[in-house]
Amino acid sequence: MVIPNEADINQFIADLNGYKNALEKGTVDIVNFYYPEYQELTNDTKDEFMELAEDNVAAAVDMTGDAIKSIWETVEFPNQEAVKLAQADAQSESNNSYGFYAGAAFGVIGLAATLALVSTCDKKAVQENQEALL
């Protein structure tokens, strides 16, 4: 078994460094050669996809809406009066003042919580001042 000397090790490291530099240069050359084509293909594909999506998505949404509308128009409810009354009740409930009362209640609770925090902070400040005076 031959033990390499320092010159052999330095030569081996220099050779590895040369291979590394050659690989880096080759990789950069490949990227620089193919990147413009890749970029062009990417842009073309994106443009074609957007055109296709604009045409087909709008058509699909329109077709789906038309189908739902036609189905809805052909549905017969067992009791049309009950449906109309339920719709009227829903409309009247949305116009009542439950929301106002709920908002007012949350406002009062928020005000009470704020006052409690202010009171607690004031007590703590007074207590700290009293401790400082003692």
- b/e burial code for range 44-78 (CB count within 10 A of at least 16 → b): eeeeeeeeeeeeeeeeeeeeeeeeeeeeeeeeeee
Structural domain contains residue 25: yes
Domain hosting 1: range is 1-75
Select the more confidently predicted residue: 79 or 85: 85
Give the tens place of pLDDT for each residue, 86-104. Answer: 777 766 655 556 666 667 7
By the 8 A CB rule, do 12 and 4 touch?
Answer: yes
45 pLDDT more than 70: yes
Same domain membership, residue 112 and residue 65: no
- Cα angle, residue 62 at apex, residues 60 and 59 outer, rounded to 5°: 40
How many domains does the chain contain in total?
A: 2
Same domain membership, residue 70 and residue 23: yes
Same domain membership, residue 67 and residue 85: no
Structural domain contains residue 134: no
